[in-house]
Chains A and B, each alone.
Chain A
Amino acid sequence: MSTPVVEALSPAATQAVAAKVLTGAWSGRALVKLLGELEKWDVVIEAKKAKMNKLWIGSMIGAFVGFILMFVLFPYGIALFLIPFVLIFIFKKQLNGLEAADIPDELRKSVRPVLKQLGQDLHPEEKIKGTIQLTGIDESRCKLKKDLPPGHNRSLKLSVYETEVCDLRLPLADGSTAVLRLNNTFHKLERSYRTTRGKCKSKTKWKKAVTATAMLIPPVRWNWEPARMQKYVDKVNEKLSFAEKNGVMAARLDRYYKFKGIGNAPVATVPAEDIMKLFVRLSGMRPAGGTR
């Protein structure tokens, strides 16, 4: 599949687009800037995708009309069918290339705004470490594929894709470390059946389950005060836990989301405000006084 030419991107962004992953250590500003570049790249790709999609649909309509005209204007009318017919494949190939180059929306809607808002909290000298995946749903990430028991005249196929969108460790100015993780699990349910008239039909349903994890690892042992924020923890969709990390007790808040889509995988993602609220609540459990 052809990948669009990378224009006006910095070497780091070019490398990230090519490798489809961002790994390493960055200062807060550098990472926000790099993600900003990738965001612009994503916007350009989205626009190109929309244009290519229109061309693809146009060529299909053209091929249909050409097919009818072919008989009316035979033999010269063959060209009217063949040209749009060939274009269908060319545009589809280019559309696939653009879809492969597309960057997940989590980067634009979740990760970058959070990093921007936490910009003043970051340690001025230490660096953010971690990984950000730039691929969406990929066959290599398919964890499960199975045929479900079929009913009358139909088949059910379930595919599960798992992606860890990001795992970032953010050193904060007071010596503690904030950890941000986003995990996506896509459930694709393909159902095909035969109607009473003998037509084969198929429907694809998608479910996207996202787990947003915020963790706060203190620099020294803290006596967390969870009682203060307990009432603000959603008992259905959130889970508060504490775990021993490197000799200190880390506080962790997970939030679970579910999004649905028919035909295409849902593009909705965790709002940045929700991630910030996870961190704010964890921060609100710090022991009062003497922590900064």
Chain B
Amino acid sequence: MFYRLSGTYHTSYEADRKLWKIPTDRWLVIALLILALLAPLYVSPLYLGSYVLPWVIWSAAALSLTLLMGLAGQLHFGFAAVMAIGAYASIHLVRAGVPFELALLLSGLISAVIGAVFGGAALRVKGLYLVMATLAMQYLIDWVVVNVPAISGGAHATLRTPAVSFLFFPVESLAARYWLALGWAVLLTVFFMNVKRTSFGRALVAIRDKDFAAAVIGVDPFKTKLMAFFTSSFMGGVTGAILAFCFYRAVTPEQFGFNVSIQLVAMVLVGGLGSVIGSWLGAGFVLLAPIFLTNLVSGLAAAGWVPVSQNFLSHLPLMIYGAMIIGFLLLEPLGLAKIYDNIRKYFLVWPFRHARS
């Protein structure tokens, strides 16, 4: 009823390969896109600047990471370092006079090359050992940034982003920054959905499932793994630059620390490995749930309902947040994306009970 299937026939290969085969899905996506585009008109600056904008950027970051972790099955616990390379590269390039558009691409390339070099470890090790190798990348990049004043920006290690314009539009007002970030996140989303349908995407999945079996059927693990790291790091690098220019506008090493890498992994896992909608939901959950909970608990405390010390009050949201993560993963180990999928399937055949697949 909600997802009308009758009368929808796929009579050509092209129609059968559409991204959204069911009209309702298509309309939903278009409606969401329009809502997202018009957000600066109806969302207050507080919510646009502190909730929607970071959510969009972190979703792009989660998409970049899930290409590597979800599709290609290569664990990466140093992804914040990849974003740091992109952020610092873009700022220094713009300061050196490179146009912003070009600096974005170049910073992505620099991240991609460095990311692929560290990804080289994946050619020899996998699983937990690869986690260790990528952790080493995180700490190495952190150390280099902190210890080379030319990169971090002098005594106080804060670099402000210069004023830039993107395709002749100044990236200054909140709305402009939001639209640029949204554009990048939508581009990554469309890319991700399409990459799954290419031979490269299928090669990544083959590598994830068993790399030597993939080699037997003719997929080159050497090339594919490096390509996976290269592509993912490129996306992550540009996202880091977008994060610096559209959101923080002043970059410090702590913004790309180890805890941010763990947050990114949490986004990907809580959302659902290798899923597009999972990346959006996971980023939203990991980023915004602590903020909502903190405000909720503070509100209750102000009303006198939680008579506890400030210290306990501050930790209470973290306890609820932790319980929520465990709760969601117990309820559905495949993440928020699977929960969404279950709901959609329920309505797909509603009022009947069972959907195929």
Q: A and B: real partners?
A: no
| B residues apposed to A, CB below 8 Å | none
